[in-house]
Structure 1
Amino acid sequence: MNPSQIPLFVTAEGQPEAFDLDRTPHLFVAARPGLGGEDVLRTAANHVARHGGRADFGIGHPNPGTGLDPKVGLHTGRDQVANLIEAARQEVDARLWLLDQDQELDGLRLLVLEDVGWLWSRRDRAQALDDLLQVGFLGRAAGVHLVLSALPDSAVPVELLNCVSVLTLGPVGRHPRARLFGGEPVQPLRAGWGSGELLAGDQPPRPVTLAPRPGRATSAA
């Protein structure tokens, strides 16, 4: 299976639908706890690691929870996450140099960061935020991809929103929704797990439903 085709969604007919990193190289997930954001991040990391890519998972607190494949690199605590972002930016630079030398890259690289709102609220993390933006701007050409999450009302930098697709899960307030997408939702989003809206590339926002994970079913409205 292609590591860039992440099986995140199902269609209205129940057919699987992939999020394609080749077309939309970065994903930002705006969700409150329990609505599926954690599942999206773990699915992405596990899929890439199991299908020939390399995935690292960073979370700012010391308890990452469960559900990560042993092949996924795990980094906990804010210092480790900042170091991971710096390493990803350096890898982007190295991979771009290889491309300039007409050399082949060694496959897809995915950086998954859970609950990164603290990055843009801490002045002492300005370098890590700058490194993250550089990965966002230049990563596609280097085969380095991002999947990030934060609360929907966190002050996400506009520069970051300009280089990612945005997935919101569950209802969000009018202000954070307008800031992330503009206007009102395409259709009302359910309060339960797995109901979302995706803005990818230059396409208008569209409703999506997360694929059920083992042991979990989507909630009714």
Structure 2
Amino acid sequence: MKVAWSATHQEFLLTDGYYFSGLYKHLCKRKIEIEEVDDFDRLFEYDVIVFNYPENPFSSEEKEKIREALEQKGKKIIFTAHFKNKDGVSEICNSITRDYGIDILPEGIKDEMHHLEDDLFIITTDEVKLYREGVKEVVFPYSAPLEVENGAEVVLRARKTSLTDSGKKSPVLIAQKRFESGGKLIVCGSCIFWDNFSLFRLDNLQFVVNIFEGAE
């Protein structure tokens, strides 16, 4: 499997070893080839494309290429955001994901009972609905909540003890849309559940590997 980590829209970069050295190392160990790609057209030569916190908007032409990759070419495309629409990233992602029934809300999520490091935003959850093989619990820091409709599936939820800024319990953290081509759109409310802080806590590493490999 070949994974393109986009460097085309001012994303958090895979080559920033302080944050993502663990992810790169452990995916390579599992024969998942992952490469940082700074040419938008080249992204679509890969099986999986990651837009990890894209800070620059997508053009109409780029959105059309993403649509074709999902609906016709069977690509898996992953978007990640952050809480409270930081840097406008949630809305940049929504410009694509909303058409497929997944909306990233401009809010944060706290859990007073299940969190790490005395930080209510570094929530943990065992509400793993997909990609759960070998996974019981994950940490999902500083996530935005998602709204899901139009046949999109829930991959991960926060616990019932969690609350969004608007007072909703157990929000969706990751959602997925499947396409007849075999393509998948995966949208994550957090962009740091696979960084060096989170990856080796609880079952995050196995969860991340499952997402890339498709082990639901």
TM-score by length of 1: 0.40
Task: Give the strand-richer structure, 1 or 2.
Answer: 2
TM-score, normalized by length of structure 2? 0.41
Larger radius of gyration: 1
